[in-house]
Structure 1
Amino acid sequence: MPTVFVTSATGSVGSALCQQLRALNWRVRAITRDPDSKSAQHLKALGVELIPGDWDDQDALRAGLTGCDKLFLCLLPDLSDFKKVPARAKTIAAIAKSSGVTQAVGLTTLGNFAVEEGTKPPPKYAPSPFFAQHFHAKKRVEQALIEGGFDHWTILRPGFFMANFLEPKINMGMGYAEIKENGTWTTSMTATSPLGLVDHVDIARFAVTAFQKPDLLHGRLLAVVSEELLVQEAFDQLAAAIGDSERSIKAKFMSDEECAKAQAEGSWRFFSSETCVRYMSDYTNLEELSDLIGGLTTFKKFFEREKEGVKETYHRK
């Protein structure tokens, strides 16, 4: 059975991927800073081999990657230093290649289409200077895998995580907490632009498909979403999942001028003021995505599966 090295294994996507790979009886290794944490212990119970260390610990990386066949690369961005994460990706890719890894699957962001040369159709809005740096950093992470010398590589570019509406992601300081605190979400999206929502379990399923069928998705920069809904449709479904007849959730759509002002102020609204995300659906193909993994998780089904998370996030104590 193959052995897969999974970065960010204690995150939502990494944890789901570890679970799916172990269900196939594949061997899985991961690095963790705290092997005694609840999330790490969950992985250990699944049969994941844990290596103490972090992404900058090259000795730990060599120990974890030696003997692995495949690499899943998912690195959290560092918005204070756009050079740090691409450098990490390059180091991990080099160690993986020298350790005998032949296939790599990377996870970046749907927003990369906004800064990619030759993107068709051309982006209708350019990203702000800050987010252009963020997307270019993600592009350099992708390039580390593309140029890593692997026999097969695949890049998954996910849309807006469904899990952003639940704890703990809703509390990460990106403005999502407004939803549970005020019953509103201030967004650069428009009332008519589709919001590409993605289930982290589906992302893991795409990674597993790529690992199982290396030729199928080799060389692909794959836009990954599970469902596209208008923003207010999404919030109506969230309100229904919460099940509180007195609670509604309303989208507050920002004009171009309001987006520009929010970016200039640098407040949390900065993260919800990117006009380039309005037309990311130009780069998705739901029919192809559904065919690849045998069906996608709808927003309603996500909330049914995550009903305990909905209760923990929204039901008043």
Structure 2
Amino acid sequence: MSNTQGPVLVIGATGRQGFATATSLLEKGWPVRAFVRDPAAPKARELRSAGAELAVGDLDDEDSLRPAMEGVHGIFLMLTMMEGVHITAKGIADEERRGKTVAELAAKAGVAHLVYTSLQGVHQDSGVEYYDAKEHIEDHIRALGLPATILRPVLFMDNFATYNRPTRDGDNLVLALAVLPHLPMPLIAIQDIGRFAALAFERPAEFLGRDLVIAGDLLTPPQIAEILARTAGLTPRSVQVPVEQISAFDEQVGKMFAFFNSRPTPPIDITALRTTLPDLMTLEDWLRATDWQA
């Protein structure tokens, strides 16, 4: 059932989670206002062609955010701490500031439903600064009394096509991860994050006021390697990358993996999540849906 009170403003609409959310909302017949910096960007043009209204602005410019929020029913908010390919102290501080600003402006605008994608691991004393920034945004949303849903996605399956793409060594597929081999890793397809966000707007009685960790599969690194290798017709090999090696490239990512290895993920009821979203993808589902190639 689509909303008739106003559009959903999607902040981060040309990013992976925002684009997935905007697409899912449009597929359900919801009016979408996509907040973009560059209306000529390929993803912005694609959303406009699909029926989205574009609102041009910048998260550091409140004068562009206010009109973008006028008349909206809901806001989807996804933020990044990345500066280029690294997580920096400035990027973390900017993310927290921007998130709090959007929340404050949304409260003043009387937005009926804010959906914020945070991440699994907040409120667990992780010692990871970029986790803390997202935690502070969550806390600010609650302090403002905003009607909100907080989604906490886990590691992205999509990263096996980008950051964590395995390599090939002869007939072997080699998956290198900084995760202990016996630890199950919760995984989710980015497309499913968008689907959950769209469901939250569609079913507010079920989702308002909830903090929800979302995942579609739970697999150890060797299990992931086996599935990827079977898809590629290769022999699996899983390699544990030292956390110190990751930290040398990006201290925050290194801290994340150190936290993950020392504090395994609390139980996630994927069966219940699949009841909510019946086509929630497993890793094998995602590989087929994306025609993944090694």
Q: Same fold (TM over 0.5)?
A: yes
SS in 1 for 2:145: coil
Q: Which amino acid aligns with 1:209?
A: L
Of 153, 162, 165, the match for 2:157? 162
The CA RMSD over aligned residues, in Å, is 2.2
Give 1:253's aligned residue: 240
User: Aligned runs of 1:123-142 on 2, under 5 Å?
Assistant: 127=126, 129=127, 132-142=128-138
Does 2:219 match 1:209? no
Following TM superposition, by how much is the alpha carbon of 1:49 offset from its aligned partner in structure 2, in angstroms?
0.8
Q: Match of 2:122?
A: 112
Q: Please give the secondary structure, in 2, of the residue aligned with 1:50.
A: strand
The structure that is strand-richer by fraction is: 2
Asked whether 1:277 is paired with 2:260, we answer yes
Q: Please give the alpha-carbon distance, in whole angstroms, between the structure 1 residues aligned to 2:135 and 2:188.
A: 20
Distance 1:36 1:103, change over 3 A: same
Q: Say if 1:105 and 1:153, in contact at 8 Å, map to a contact too.
A: yes
Structure-2 change in CA distance of 1:61 and 1:252 (3 Å): same
2:287 aligned partner: 303
User: CA separation in 2, counterparts of 1:269 and 1:96?
Assistant: 33
TM-score under structure 1 normalisation?
0.80
Specify whether residues 61 and 227 from structure 1 end up closer, same or farther in structure 2 by C-alpha distance, changes over 3 A only: same
Tell me whether 1:83 sits opposite 2:101 in the alignment.
no
Cα shift at 1:181 = 6.6
Identity %: 26
Paired with 1:140 and 1:60, the residues of 2 have a C-alpha distance of 24
The CA distance in 2 between the partners of 1:297 and 1:192, in whole Å, is: 22
Q: Is the CA contact (8 Å cut-off) linking 1:106 and 1:145 kept in structure 2?
A: no
Q: Match for residue 147 of structure 1?
A: 143
CA drift at 1:75: 0.3
Matched, 1:239 2:234: no
2:272 to 288, 307, 310: 288
Identify if the C-alpha distance between structure 1 residues 37 and 249 changes in structure 2 by more than 3 Å, giving closer, same or farther.
Answer: farther
Give SS of 1:266's match: helix
- Name the amino acid aligned to 1:294: P
Query: Match for 1:216: what amino acid?
Result: E
**Contact residue 32 and residue 53 of structure 1 kept, 8 A:** yes
TM-score by length of 2: 0.86
Question: Which 5+ residue runs of structure 1 have no aligned equivalent?
Answer: 116-126, 171-175
Amino acid at match of 1:215: A
Residue 149 of structure 1 deviates from its aligned partner by 2.7
User: Which aligned runs of 4 or more in structure 1 are off by greater than 6 angstroms?
Assistant: none
